[in-house]
Structure formats: structure tokens, C-alpha cells
């Protein structure tokens, strides 16, 4: 349920890179995991040759530098520095701002706290956090609608990391039943396009113990 891990999984899917998933309960602060990422956060991408790439944005840059070029004009982080500004701005928008205002609260309250022991913050969800997230997500839906109202994809005419970051976070809020699809029709249509991509399939097949997504979660015509 970590939206940043989902962002990297979508990139790997678009790049066609086979990978294994390892669940990490970051609150356990496992020593072996802290060696891979001293900041103690997911995701960490571990390459066959042993490199550990900590953090979603760093993994995205690494994957662009080591595989992205091969995609030519379908490169997910475009070649031109000017276009890269807008892609990176939106990636940060969702990975930082949307996360802090929306997805962090929902995932933490509704999912992580079920699995965390009480002494590190586990327990029943705090309704105030969920309420705040549900209020905040509305203007993000409008912002997505505003962007795709004048462009085909979030950062321009081609699919980029910006779309994958936004969709990764929305896939989590959607799983938890908290994405207000009636807020903006353009945002909904954009998400339907991203959701139909083969790279999305693994995310739609995921199930978390004890939490069922709404029926529409895996339906491309939701």
C-alpha cells in the first residue's frame, strides 16, 4: 500500500523490467533494511548487481539514466531540460504534497495502523486524519482535471513519470474507497486511461489482508 513503491512498480512495468516484491514493515526498523536505506523508508530498489537505490524519486532518476534512454520518444522523463522541469514538478507534487495532504493519512490510518504494534502507533484509525484527507483530495482531483483539460497527459502530450506518480497515489486512495470520482470527469477519464495500461495490472491484482477494495477498483470502466 505504499504509494511511492507503487510509483516505482509502475515505472518498472512501463520499462518491462521483471522484479520481485519484498514486503517491508518499516516501523520494525530492521537493521538489514536500514543498511539499504538509512532513512528507513520504502521503496528501495535492489539491482541484481547489488546496488540499492533508496527512495522513489531517486529510483525514478536511476531507472531513467540506466534504462530510460532506450525508450526513445516514449522516455518517461523527457529529454529536454525544459520539459523535465514540469515532469519533476508534478512528480514532487504527488509524492510530497498529495502524500502529506492525502495518501499518507489514509494509508496510515486505514492500513498501516492495523499491522503496527500499539507501542509504535498501531491501533484504530483516527477519524480526524481520514476526514482531512477526504477534504484535501477534492482540490487535487480538480487540479488533475485542470491539467488534463489542456493537455493529453498530466505533464504534456506524452505519458511521463508525472502520470505514474499521480496514478500510484490515486490507486491507493481508490483501493481504500476514498477517491471522489464524481469530483472531476476529466480526472476520471485520465485515470481510466492510465489504469488500462498493462503496467497497472499487478497493482490492480494486489489485495491487502483484511481490507477489500471497492468492486470498481480493478474495473477499467469504473
* Nearest residue (CB) to its own copies, 103 versus 174: 103
Shortest separation between residue 82's beta carbon and its own copies, angstroms: 6
Shortest separation between residue 19's beta carbon and its own copies, angstroms: 17
Whole-number Å distance between alpha carbons of 3 and 130? 16
Shortest separation between residue 206's beta carbon and its own copies, angstroms: 27
Whole-number Å distance between alpha carbons of 189 and 222? 10
Grid cell listed for 144: 488533475
* Nearest residue (CB) to its own copies, 120 versus 211: 120
Distances (CA, A) of 46 to 10, 32, 64, 79, 106: 16, 13, 15, 25, 27
- Which spans of this chain sit near its own copies (rule: CB under 8 A)? 37-39, 51, 53-55, 57-58, 61-62, 65-66, 81-82, 84-85, 88-89, 92-93, 97, 143
Contact 133, 178 (CB under 8 A): yes
Whole-number Å distance between alpha carbons of 167 and 209? 22
* Nearest residue (CB) to its own copies, 98 versus 191: 98
* Nearest residue (CB) to its own copies, 95 versus 179: 95
Shortest separation between residue 161's beta carbon and its own copies, angstroms: 13
Amino acid at each position: 500500500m505504499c504509494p511511492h513503491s507503487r510509483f516505482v512498480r509502475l515505472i518498472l512495468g512501463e520499462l518491462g523490467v521483471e522484479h520481485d516484491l519484498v514486503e517491508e514493515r518499516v516501523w520494525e526498523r530492521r537493521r538489514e533494511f536500514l543498511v539499504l536505506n538509512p532513512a528507513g523508508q520504502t521503496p528501495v530498489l535492489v539491482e541484481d548487481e547489488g546496488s540499492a537505490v533508496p527512495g522513489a524519486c531517486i529510483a525514478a532518476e536511476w531507472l531513467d539514466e540506466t534504462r530510460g534512454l532506450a525508450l526513445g520518444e516514449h522516455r518517461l522523463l523527457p529529454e529536454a531540460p525544459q520539459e523535465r522541469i514540469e515532469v519533476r514538478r508534478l512528480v514532487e507534487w504527488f509524492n510530497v504534497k498529495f502524500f502529506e495532504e492525502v495518501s499518507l493519512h489514509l494509508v496510515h490510518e486505514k492500513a498501516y495502523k492495523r499491522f503496527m504494534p500499539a507501542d509504535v502507533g498501531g491501533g484504530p484509525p483516527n477519524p480526524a486524519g481520514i476526514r482531512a484527507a477526504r477534504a484535501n483530495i477534492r482540490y487535487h482531483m480538480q487540479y488533475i482535471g485542470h491539467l488534463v483539460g489542456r493537455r493529453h497527459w498530466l505533464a504534456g502530450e506524452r505519458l511521463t513519470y508525472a502520470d505514474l506518480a499521480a496514478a500510484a497515489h490515486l490507486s491507493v486512495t481508490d483501493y481504500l474507497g476514498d477517491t471522489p470520482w464524481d469530483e472531476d470527469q476529466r480526472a476520471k477519464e485520465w485515470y481510466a486511461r492510465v489504469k488500462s495500461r498493462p503496467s497497472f495490472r499487478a497493482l490492480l491484482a494486489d489485495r491487502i489482508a483484511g481490507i477489500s477494495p471497492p468492486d470498481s477498483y480493478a474495473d477499467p470502466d469504473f
